[in-house]
Amino acid sequence: MPSSLKKTIGILGGVGPEATAELFRRIIRMTGAQCDQDHLPVIIFNNPAIPDRTAAIIGRGASPLPALKDTARRLEKAGADCIAIPCNTAHFFLPQIRRAVHIPVLDMIDATAACIAAVHPGVRRVGLLATTGTVRSRLYHAALRRRRVRVIVPPASAQRDLVMAAIYGREGIKAGARRRPAQMLRQAAELLREADAGLLIAGCTEISMVLRGRCAGLPLVDPLTVLAREAIRQAGETSALCGASRIVSG
């Protein structure tokens, strides 16, 4: 497609910064480009000043909504034709963000649920590895319930000591660690497998950076890859590299 006909993707970034860079990398890798000029125009606003989303949802921090809306408006003003947010938890605020702009803001949660229903139609129990904010928001629960799929989560102690520690801990992913967080997340995944999960969702974009392929013997569905695919489609690219089969990470 001629570059003049391609829409510009806006990435509402800083939530967190590495996930922002990873989404951009996946958009590049998944676009069927043969040269520089075949790639899609992308505007990134990496705004690390946006308050923590989980802290706000559980009542322990400032609301990120004003900063999320302001960042979305700046992307629109800069020329973005659509906006992708590489943060599952931030989708709790998606309706308000959408009302703040006049361009589409993609829904990573619903797109992931739709892909699971299409690619894994026989699965009826899905294990969710995500921040406590995403778990409490029940965004995935609602999106998958509409597809007659049940979401299960780790026990409270494992959610705190394994999943949240792997993401936010001193040796967590946000602090730059990789090996130990991956081990902790695999432990949590084992608990979900034992609870009869048929597949897993890497429901935090930081998790997307340390777990790939199968985990605990189960397929691992990666919403960050789903979001990259949806952004590419929104921008007018129809590459085969964006097919539904690529929602499984790795």
Residue from 82, 115, 204, 242 carrying the catalytic annotation: 204
The answer to whether the bond into 16 is cis (omega within 30° of 0) is: yes
222: three-class secondary structure by DSSP: coil
Is 87 an annotated catalytic residue?
Answer: yes
Q: Which of 87, 115, 215, 242 is catalytic?
A: 87
Tell me the backbone φ, ψ of residue 96, rounded to 5 degrees: -70, -35
CA atoms within 13 A on the CB side of 1: 17
Taking 3-state DSSP, the helix, strand and coil percentages for the chain, each rounded to the nearest 5, stand at 50, 15, 35
* Whether 211 contacts 185, CB under 8 Å: yes
Which residue has 């990398």 as its token pair?
25
Query: Which residues form the catalytic set?
Result: 87, 204
